[in-house]
Amino acid sequence: MAHMEVLLNEDIDNLGHRGQVVRVRSGYGRNYLLPQGLAIEATPGNKRMIEEHQRVLAKRENREKNAAREQGDKLSGVVISFDRRVGEHGILYGSVTAMDIAAALHELGQKVERRKISLREPIKEIGEFDVHIKLHRDVAPAIKVIVRKIGTEEIAPPQLAETLAEASGETAPAAESHESPGETEATEE
């Protein structure tokens, strides 16, 4: 199987970081990496160009890392909370998605792309959760996400929430659903 060496213009999962020269299958390089502008071919003939390109990429990397650190300092320790209706067994009617968290951060003046929010799956129960924001491969501050039952100021464990709901005579119809728009999109990631 033929291989070729390429210089990566972007970080590519399971392959390498921006500015690295890596060996890839020729078909992958020619059909995907090169046409998408994700890499340039590393041949002996263009060695000087590659070295210059690496210097430019290193400067860009440094700028982006510093900007990520600055934003990370502002985000570190941020607390955001959501009030949600709770059904049986403490399960939320509308789960809290990465999109919800991004919108809440945006309201605080922090623009964070949804894909940078490390949330494996939407939050579906009340409680406190530490969520990491991956601003850069070396910068991932944690924010605290608090999910409360509507009408309560405190966080109650699921069992207590269920007891409170039963005591107050609240019974939510099972057919009623209040999912946030775009939730299905967020769960497919």
Q: Which domain holds residue 45?
A: 3-73
| Torsional class of 14: left (φ above 0), alpha (ψ -120 to 50), beta (otherwise) | left
> Over 50: is that where the pLDDT of 75 sits?
yes
In DSSP notation, 169-184 reads T----TT---PPTTHH
Q: Which residues of 66-77 are buried (b: 16+ CB within 10 A; e: fewer)?
A: eebeebbeebee
In DSSP notation, 87-117 reads -GGGEEEEEE-HHHHHHHHHHTT----GGGE
Q: Give, rounded to a whole angstrom, the gap between the first and last alpha carbons of the chain.
A: 32
Can you name the residues that pair with 83 across neighbouring β-strands? 148
Q: Are residues 127 and 146 in the same domain?
A: yes
Instruction: Please give the backbone phi and psi of residue 130, each rounded to the nearest 5 degrees, phi first.
Output: -90, 125
Q: Binning pLDDT at 50, 70 and 90, where does residue 142 land?
A: very high
- On whether residue 189 sits in a domain, the answer given is no
Q: Are residues 84 and 158 in the same domain?
A: yes
Q: Tell me, what's the pLDDT at 151?
A: 61
Q: Binning pLDDT at 50, 70 and 90, where does residue 34 land?
A: very high
pTM over 0.85: no
Where a domain ends, among 25, 56, 73?
73
Q: Are residues 98 and 111 in the same domain?
A: yes
> Over 80: is that where the pLDDT of 40 sits?
yes
Instruction: Please give the backbone phi and psi of residue 23, each rounded to the nearest 5 degrees, phi first.
Output: -95, 130
Q: Are residues 85 and 162 in the same domain?
A: yes
- On whether residue 163 sits in a domain, the answer given is yes
Q: Tell me, what's the pLDDT at 183?
A: 42
Q: Tell me, what's the pLDDT at 187?
A: 40
Instruction: Please give the backbone phi and psi of residue 93, each rounded to the nearest 5 degrees, phi first.
Output: -75, -50
Q: Are residues 66 and 137 in the same domain?
A: no
